[in-house]
Amino acid sequence: MSEIKRGRGRPSKFDPETSLQIAMHLFWSHGYEGTSMAELTEAMNINKPSLYGAFGSKENLFRKAIEQYMAGPIAFVGEALSEKTAYEVVEKLLLNTATFLTDPANPKGCMVLMGTLSCGKEAEAIKQEMITRRQAYEMALKQRFILAQAQGDLPKDAAPETLAKYVVTIHQGMTVQAVNGASHAELEALAKLVLQNWPAPGNQAK
Amino acid sequence: MSEIKRGRGRPSKFDPETSLQIAMHLFWSHGYEGTSMAELTEAMNINKPSLYGAFGSKENLFRKAIEQYMAGPIAFVGEALSEKTAYEVVEKLLLNTATFLTDPANPKGCMVLMGTLSCGKEAEAIKQEMITRRQAYEMALKQRFILAQAQGDLPKDAAPETLAKYVVTIHQGMTVQAVNGASHAELEALAKLVLQNWPAPGNQAK
DNA sequence: ATATTATTATACCACTTGGTAAAAAATATG
DNA sequence: CATATTTTTTACCAAGTGGTATAATAATAT
């Protein structure tokens, strides 16, 4: 695909996509500030000028990495929204989250949360962007619940806004639990507890 | 109290307690790694050798600060455990948390969570200590629910362990919500939603 | 007054941070 | 071949990191 057209100068020895994947895992593991350019260049097997040539800056690299993250590892979050009922949306969301957060192949925790909850003043911009992402997620869930209410699979007296905040709060709390070392069984039990209490209709157990 | 017996050498110009309070607020605002010794010394109006003489190291200063934090700002968490019923424990816990997290006098967020969710490898020790603190909190809540079950104000078929994890997850998720900018009204509505679903007995809607 | 003691202040340490300038190497085109 | 082009490599930068040795200073005890 990119081998057909060979440029004119010295060939670059790294594949930007795989390098980005490596960066994603590093940021995912140690957060934005907790990951240094030195660690990144070493893990990616790239010299710093090449990295800066390809990605511009540490901030930009992180932004590209987080896009990869959202398109890949946590694509299931966006997909859950298109389930048929509000109950199924939440079911898919929380059960998949439990699995995702305890997958041994993944770094513990969520990249949108880790290391950007608090930070020094240099990372303030990135922190704000992560806040915006989390808010957008909550907003999307709220819209989905409003739709569900219109479609009748959520009670008339339910508050979509509060329910959205509730689910997001559970989701983000589960992330902390995963960092604390919670097992898949524990997170699954937690998710099922939430589903049990979900406002009818849709509150059929199992 | 400390004015009666005046030491022999040059008098120290700072009060360790108020200095510690300042350090607490800084760590609270920007996390462990996000706060530098330079910022600390400047805010405390102390030179570095004095600070190291009084507190030993950055790690130690943080530990002292977190003790202050637990004994002061979030003492209500421990106090909530001695409420009469499980329902009242959770009620006091979550409603006070909503108020605490949106108090304009406080930095946004919880010090036991902020900046220690992920970190570089130098802060790994502090991160672990915070994890332990969070686990201890969950454990205490679980024990309280076991007691409640024995006293009959929690159903026989309830799972104290899962309920404890549930409440702690909500609590920690609320912290993230506060960082995201949630208002007191929003967090209160969230807390009341949780209380509505609390397993009877104790599930009387106020 | 003078020695003693405990603290403050200044200057500094080695190391790491994100970021870059300049030179060297590898390819394609003429 | 030589030349143009693009990359890698090496070396470096100023600023900041946590932490400390040394000297100045201010109080008390003799």
Cβ neighbors of B54 (< 8 A, separation 6 or more) are B16, B19, B46
- Report the C-alpha gap between A100 and A152 in whole angstroms: 30
Given B120, B179, B193, which is nearest A117 (Cβ)? B179
Structure confidence by residue, pLDDT tens digits, B142-194? 999 999 999 999 999 999 999 999 999 999 999 999 999 999 999 999 999 99
Confidence of residue B202 (pLDDT cuts 50, 70, 90): very low
Q: How far is the CA of B3 from the C1' of D29 (A)?
A: 18
What is the phi/psi pair of residue B192, to 5°?
-70, -30
Residue of A nearest to B171 (CA): A173
Chain A residues closer than 8 Å to B174 by CB: 169, 173
Per-residue pLDDT at B93 exceeds 80: yes
Which of these CATH numbers, 1.10.357.10, 3.10.20.30, 3.90.420.10, 3.30.70.100, describes B76-196? 1.10.357.10
Instruction: Of A161, A178, A140, give the one whose Cα is nearest residue B182.
Output: A161
Chain A residues closer than 8 Å to B43 by CB: none
Per-residue pLDDT, B144: 98
Per-residue pLDDT, A4: 39
Cβ neighbors of B151 (< 8 A, separation 6 or more) are B85
Per-residue pLDDT at B206 exceeds 50: no
Instruction: Of A29, A176, A28, give the one whose Cα is nearest residue B110.
Output: A176
Dihedral class, residue B105 (left if φ above 0, else alpha if ψ from -120 to 50, else beta): alpha
> Do A74-196 and A16-69 fall under one CATH topology?
no
- What is the percentage of chain B residues whose pLDDT exceeds 90? 86
**Amino acid, single-letter form, for residue A39:** E
Strand D lies under 7 A from the Cβ of residue A120: yes
Structure confidence by residue, pLDDT tens digits, B7-42? 788 889 899 999 999 999 999 999 999 999 999 999
Confidence of residue B86 (pLDDT cuts 50, 70, 90): very high
Domain ranges of chain B: 16-69, 76-196
Mean pLDDT of B37-59: 96
C1'-nearest nucleotide to the CA of A59: C18
CB pair distance less than 8 Å for B114 and A118: yes
Tokens for A80?
A: 């859950």
Per-residue pLDDT, B5: 52
Length of chain A: 206
What is the phi/psi pair of residue A128, to 5°?
-60, -40
Q: How far is the CA of A180 from the C1' of D14 (A)?
A: 39
Give me the architecture of the A16-69 domain, per CATH: Orthogonal Bundle (1.10)
Distance from CA of B104 to the nearest CA of A (A): 17
Chain B residues closer than 8 Å to A199 by CB: none
Beta-carbon count within 10 A of B39 CB: 16
Considering Cα of A160, then A161, then A164, then A165, what sign does the dihedral take?
A: negative
Distance from CA of B187 to the nearest CA of A (A): 9
In tens digits, chain A (206 residues) has pLDDT values of 334 356 788 999 999 999 999 999 999 999 999 999 999 999 999 999 999 999 999 999 999 999 999 999 999 999 999 999 999 999 999 999 999 999 999 999 999 998 788 888 899 999 999 999 999 999 999 999 999 999 999 999 999 999 999 999 999 999 999 999 999 999 999 999 999 999 987 444 43
Given B30, B121, B172, which is nearest A118 (Cβ)? B30
Rounded to the nearest integer, the mean pLDDT of chain B is 93
CB pair distance less than 8 Å for B172 and A171: no
Q: How is domain A74-196 classified at the CATH fold level? A: Tetracycline Repressor; domain 2 (1.10.357)
Q: Which nucleotides in chain C lie less than 7 Å from some protein C-beta? A: 4-11, 16-22, 24-29
Per-residue pLDDT at B139 exceeds 80: yes
Per-residue pLDDT at B129 exceeds 50: yes
Per-residue pLDDT at B1 exceeds 70: no
Confidence of residue B6 (pLDDT cuts 50, 70, 90): low
Residue of A nearest to B198 (CA): A197
Cβ neighbors of B33 (< 8 A, separation 6 or more) are A33, A34, A120, B115, B119, B120, B122, B123
C1'-nearest nucleotide to the CA of A122: C18
| A–B CB contacts, 8 A cutoff, strictly below | 137
CA angle A131, B165, B183 (to 5 degrees): 35
- Report the C-alpha gap between B127 and B115 in whole angstroms: 8
Per-residue pLDDT, A6: 65
Widest Cα–Cα separation across chain B: 66
Cβ neighbors of B3 (< 8 A, separation 6 or more) are none
Q: Which nucleotides in chain D lie less than 7 Å from some protein C-beta? A: 4-11, 16-22, 24-29
Residue of B nearest to A129 (CA): B180
